Structure 1
Amino acid sequence: MDLHTRPVILITNDDGITAPGIRSLIEAVHDLGEVIVVAPDSPQSGMGHAITIGKPLRLDEVNVFQDLGIKAYQSSGTPVDCVKLAHDVILHHRPDICLSGINHGSNASINVIYSGTMSAAMEAAVEGIPSAGFSLLDFNFDADFSIAKMVAREVAQRMLAEPMPEHFLLNVNIPKVKQTGFKGIRVCRQADAKWAENFDKRKDPRGRDYYWMTGKFINRDRGADTDIEALNNGYASIVPVRIDFTDNRIKQWMETKYPDFAQFQSSGMPETGEE
């Protein structure tokens, strides 16, 4: 296939350009198109949709993946910065798809709002690039990415096979299981779960107080169709994510409960009786 007719695949992450997860993602899809990598030069986990304002961004070409024949760049910025730089500075056009990850650790349920992995994919979706973020439920540096690579390749192939809907964005999580325990892939909804934080108060060597965040993950959702349920039963979960945060259920409730608000929305500023 001619290089110029091959699809362009942008790959990024939040664990940094030297993380094993991003190499695994590249290995999974590098033969499906022309791969360009733009990733942070250091770990950026938990950055969410942060962007760099007020200080310069560095962008350097690196030879991290030259054994795979892949052109790669590292940035001093956040995962979202990396997508912006890839689009506006390196490619000057939209790639065919954007893949983010493979993250070390879960981004299922509420984790999606904290995740730098998913925020990078979301930024690409904002730009009209079909995107997916991939996460493996294993924090170990030497985690086995073999199942995650299989899932990533399958999803990427389907994303490239036909046009995707506008602002297409997937949150894909892969369970930590052996090959024999992997059940397949399920399309799910996001579970209603949260982190219950605690802050452990400690003292530094100079006697000053500092706080270390701890806590536990609480799943309040027992539905059989959630991402947490799928992962607990050996399935990879795919949750389609929307970038429009409007809650139409609450919007309709407010329009009924507060009709004056609805009037303001439809007809402008209400009359006050003042000149």
Structure 2
Amino acid sequence: MKIMKPLILISNDDGYHAKGLNSLIDMLSDLGDILVCAPESARSGFATAFSATTPLRLKLRRKREGVEVWSCNGTPVDCVKLALSQLCPRRPDMVIGGINHGDNGSVNSHYSGTMGVTREGCMKYIPSVAFSLCDYRDDADFEPLRSIVRKITAKVLAEGLPKGTCLNVNFPKAAEFKGVKVCRMAKGTWGNEVVRTRHPRGYDYYWLVGEYTNDEPEATDTDNWALNHGYVAITPTTIDVTDYTMFERLKDCTDEFC
């Protein structure tokens, strides 16, 4: 009797051609069957957006034993939705976003298409993990991540994750890591986000850029601190965004709002 391998669904926001995604395939191809459905070009910053007004297309890019790579003209979340509906031969055992070219720690998590992939899988009650490297270069070196990526993937495949919880895993740019820390999300803000430029034809146009500030640099239990000190940061992330402290304060005050 043939034993069925785990099915791992992979997507990203850098595109199917990105080195980070293809490095991830290489790292994990012996741990399960790999199905990739990723954007046809970069879709950074799309978070959990999906396409409501644009027809979507799928294209098979390559196929070999145990690995299929598809592209989609939509968002990272579109890719996951289409893969689950049209491509997966069975329910995936795990959804992985990444490996992202760039930091998805702190509030970046809210904007990240890589985390959009992971949140979409999590909302489908599939164990889901995002991997990101704090290096935006197209030719970033992902090899130092191999051992930890494999260990985390194997552990999640074996043990699963609680429903409604996914993992946001960020790696510092380093040849070696000091260790792994489980962290909370750092409080941070983006400023100077808009650059106005004058077009030669006489109108203004704008670039969204920005400068990130860690608003609690002395806190040692955050993802920002871990990454800045050479550690891999694992942040358990929930789909439920209810503020339970405020919930307790307000639940007995409903008559005041009627």
Flag whether TM exceeds 0.5 (same fold).
yes
- Residue aligning to 1:205: 200
Q: Which moved more, 1:170-179 or 1:68-77?
A: 68-77
Alpha-carbon offset, residue 92 of structure 1: 5.6
After superposition, where does 1:158-237 map in structure 2 within 5 Å? 158-179=155-176, 182-221=177-216, 222-237=218-233
After superposition, where does 1:38-117 map in structure 2 within 5 Å? 38-63=37-62, 66=64, 70-91=67-88, 93-117=90-114
The AA in structure 2 aligned to 1:199 is: V
Q: Which moved more, 1:204-213 or 1:43-52?
A: 204-213
Q: Which moved more, 1:200-209 or 1:101-110?
A: 200-209
The AA in structure 2 aligned to 1:226 is: T
Q: Is the 8 A contact 1:129 1:168 kept in 2?
A: no
What stretches of structure 1 of length at least 5 have no aligned partner? 265-269, 271-275
Q: Cα distance 1:60–1:214, how it changes in 2: closer, same or farther (>3 A)?
A: closer
Q: Map Cα deviations across residues 236-267 of structure 1 (whole Å, 9 max, x no partner).
A: 100000001111112222335x4425xx7xxx
Distance 2:106 2:229 in 1: 15
Are residues 1:247 and 2:243 paired?
yes
Q: Is the 8 A contact 1:106 1:135 kept in 2?
A: yes
The AA in structure 2 aligned to 1:6 is: K
Distance 1:220 1:23 in 2: 35
**Secondary structure, aligned partner of 1:94:** coil
Distance 2:165 2:248 in 1: 25
Q: Which moved more, 1:169-178 or 1:204-213?
A: 204-213
- Residue aligning to 1:260: 255
Alpha-carbon offset, residue 73 of structure 1: 0.8
Distance 1:69 1:162 in 2: 22
Distance 1:245 1:100 in 2: 21
Q: TM-score, normalised by structure 1?
A: 0.88
What stretches of structure 2 of length at least 5 have no aligned partner? none
Q: Give runs of ≥4 in structure 1 deviating > 6 Å.
A: none
Alpha-carbon offset, residue 151 of structure 1: 2.2
Q: Is the 8 A contact 2:164 2:240 kept in 1?
A: no
The match for 2:117 among 120, 137, 142 is 120
Aligned Cα root-mean-square deviation (Å): 1.8
**Secondary structure, aligned partner of 2:194:** strand
Alpha-carbon offset, residue 69 of structure 1: 5.3
Alpha-carbon offset, residue 56 of structure 1: 0.7
Distance 1:98 1:173 in 2: 16
- Residue aligning to 2:154: 157
Q: Map Cα deviations across residues 35-74 of structure 1 (whole Å, 9 max, x no partner).
A: 11110101000011110011210011111x64x7521111
Structure that is richer in helix per residue: 1
Distance 1:219 1:250 in 2: 25
Count of matched residue positions in the alignment of Structure 1 and Structure 2: 257
Alpha-carbon offset, residue 8 of structure 1: 0.5
Alpha-carbon offset, residue 87 of structure 1: 0.8
Distance 1:214 1:127 in 2: 33
**Secondary structure, aligned partner of 1:5:** coil
> What fraction of aligned residue pairs are identical, expressed as a percent?
43
Q: Is the 8 A contact 1:147 1:174 kept in 2?
A: no
